[in-house]
């Protein structure tokens, strides 16, 4: 009841007037309940619009990947001998096979001193400060060595010198008669970082190269197609375009660059999977449900035709290169299933990418010079419009919200009318209850009067 239950209603008449009003209102509210159910269904429909839109955006992203030339420029590179070198490659590098001979790898210049009995042995016993001068990084570095400075103390002075150009000093124990030796090592490889001694200390001779390399022999040396190259480091990226050679040792290797077939295959498989996800979602929500005896919540919307529109796109012809080895998705192993989804024969797809990589890329990319639109752009453009603020999904959502607003207005108006109706009925029932209560009281009074009169008449008759 609009005015709430009146606890005293029915006291006068003895009837369940509250229950009667509730039952009458429940009948009248069935129309409102039906409209509320319609709102709930429409809200569920709007939620499903969002689900479909998100799946379309996933498919759009997959189509966008296939509309970008960088997708088809991915490369893989291998070395036939990793003991000689490993290799990395940039996208777009020319497919090739190149023989590389590694003569030597770049090394770090290293000098070792004569031995001393202990690391605490003094390297300056002259009684005055002496200068130790070494050459590295293209300049002479002077280290002032105070009297009685120890071997380990000299290493400390070199390492903590603010002018240090990139040299590390360390103390080793090689187990010989005088085992403690100072090792001076360049931090970087190559001739430009070679360490030489300009002025020795009287008690310390630091001029024995470790492993022998000096000068040009500190540089890496490789030979490609009869041409010899020297480089300061073992990472060589300026000889073969787009290829970085990481030298690991002397030896020969064949560097092979190929299309990254796996990367392209995955993007096409992902594209097909995104299509299937959309089709299955729409089909599930348009099909007839034998339990509810009704069709899905998308059956009466324009989205029911979405799978057919996408199917037409997936089967479209694109002839963008002269070879025409790949002009449709069927050439890439596409098969349609009975439920409208797609299967992809990955063996056929892989074979097509291997045999005709340019045709595969042309099919998805198109050719701007001839005005041919690739499949990637076709699908991406369609889905961009469909999912845009003025597209099909948004139009359906806007229309659904308008229906909800209209139904809610009807519910509000009907509820207001029912409230007024049952306010009036409640007042009438209250008046009826009061009237019947009065009638009941009058009847009780008359009954008592009749009983009293009858008693008087009986008494007089007995006398």
User: CB–CB of 87/234 below 8 Å?
Assistant: no
Report the percent of the chain where pLDDT is more than 90. 72
**Residue 423 pLDDT > 90:** no
Report the percent of the chain where pLDDT is more than 70. 89
- How are the residues of the chain apportioned to helix, strand and coil, as percentages rounded to the nearest 5? 45, 20, 30
CA distance 223 to 191: 19
Tens digits of residue pLDDT in 16-64: 667 777 787 788 778 888 999 899 999 999 999 999 999 999 999 999 9
Confidence (pLDDT) at 8: 52
Average model confidence (pLDDT) across the chain: 89
Asked which of 188-197, 200-209, 431-440 is least confident by mean pLDDT, the reply is 431-440
Tens digits of residue pLDDT in 75-98: 999 999 999 999 999 999 999 999
Confidence class for position 208, pLDDT limits 50, 70, 90: low
Confidence (pLDDT) at 23: 82
Please state the φ and ψ torsions of residue 132, each to the nearest 5 degrees: -105, 120
Confidence class for position 1, pLDDT limits 50, 70, 90: very low
- Residue 260 CB contacts under 8 Å (≥ 6 apart), including other chains: 74, 75, 76
Pairing of strands 294-295, 288-289: antiparallel
Confidence (pLDDT) at 25: 75
Average pLDDT over residues 412-435: 78
- Closest by alpha carbon to 130, among 116, 147, 118? 147
User: CB–CB of 135/197 below 8 Å?
Assistant: yes
- Closest by alpha carbon to 111, among 168, 59, 153, 67? 168
Confidence class for position 460, pLDDT limits 50, 70, 90: low
Please state the φ and ψ torsions of residue 71, each to the nearest 5 degrees: -60, -35
Confidence (pLDDT) at 457: 67
> Is the model's pTM score more than 0.75?
no
Tens digits of residue pLDDT in 259-312: 999 999 999 999 999 999 999 999 999 998 888 888 989 999 999 999 999 999
Confidence class for position 437, pLDDT limits 50, 70, 90: low
Please state the φ and ψ torsions of residue 307, each to the nearest 5 degrees: -55, -35
Could you tell me the two tokens for 400? 């659904």
């Amino acid at each position: 009841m609009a005015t709430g239950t009146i606890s005293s209603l029915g006291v006068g008449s003895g009837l369940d007037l509250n229950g009667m009003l509730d039952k009458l209102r429940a009948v009248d509210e069935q129309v409102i309940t039906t409209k509320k159910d319609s709102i709930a269904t429409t809200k569920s429909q709007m939620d499903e619009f969002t689900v479909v839109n998100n799946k379309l955006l996933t498919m759009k992203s997959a189509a966008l990947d296939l509309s970008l030339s960088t997708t088809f420029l991915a490369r893989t590179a291998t070395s036939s001998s990793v003991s000689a070198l490993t290799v990395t490659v940039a996208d777009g590098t020319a497919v090739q096979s190149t023989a590389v001979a590694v003569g030597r790898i770049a090394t770090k210049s290293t000098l070792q001193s004569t031995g001393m009995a202990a690391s605490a042995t003094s390297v300056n016993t002259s009684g005055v400060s002496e200068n130790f001068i070494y050459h590295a990084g293209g300049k002479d570095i002077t280290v002032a060595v105070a009297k009685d400075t120890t071997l380990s103390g000299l290493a400390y002075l070199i390492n903590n010198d603010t002018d240090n150009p990139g040299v590390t000093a360390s103390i080793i124990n090689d187990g010989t008669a005088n085992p403690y030796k100072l090792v001076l090592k360049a931090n970087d490889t190559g001739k430009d970082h070679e360490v030489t001694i300009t002025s020795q200390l009287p008690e310390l001779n630091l001029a024995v190269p470790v492993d022998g390399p000096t000068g040009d022999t500190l540089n890496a040396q490789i030979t490609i197609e009869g041409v010899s190259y020297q480089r300061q480091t073992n990472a060589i990226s300026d000889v073969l375009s787009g290829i970085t050679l990481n030298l690991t040792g002397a030896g020969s290797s064949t560097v092979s660059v190929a299309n990254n077939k796996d990367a392209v295959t995955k993007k096409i498989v992902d594209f097909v999977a995104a299509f299937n996800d959309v089709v299955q979602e729409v089909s599930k929500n348009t099909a007839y449900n034998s339990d509810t005896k009704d069709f899905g919540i998308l059956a009466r919307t324009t989205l029911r035709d979405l799978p057919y529109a996408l199917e037409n796109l997936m089967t479209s012809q694109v002839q963008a290169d002269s070879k025409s080895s790949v002009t449709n998705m069927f050439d890439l192993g596409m098969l349609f299933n009975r439920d409208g989804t797609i299967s992809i024969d990955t063996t056929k797809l892989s074979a097509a990418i291997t045999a005709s990589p340019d045709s595969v890329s042309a099919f998805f990319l198109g050719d701007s010079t001839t005005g041919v639109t690739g499949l990637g752009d076709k699908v991406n453009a369609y889905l961009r419009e469909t999912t845009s603020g003025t597209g099909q999904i948004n139009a359906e959502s806007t229309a659904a919200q308008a229906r909800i607003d209209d139904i809610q207005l009807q519910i509000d108006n009907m509820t207001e009318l029912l409230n007024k109706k049952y306010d009036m009925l409640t007042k009438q029932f209250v008046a009826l209850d009061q009237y019947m209560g009065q009638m009941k009281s009058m009847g009780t009074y008359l009954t008592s009067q009749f009983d009293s009169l009858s008693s008087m008449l009986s008494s007089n008759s007995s006398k």
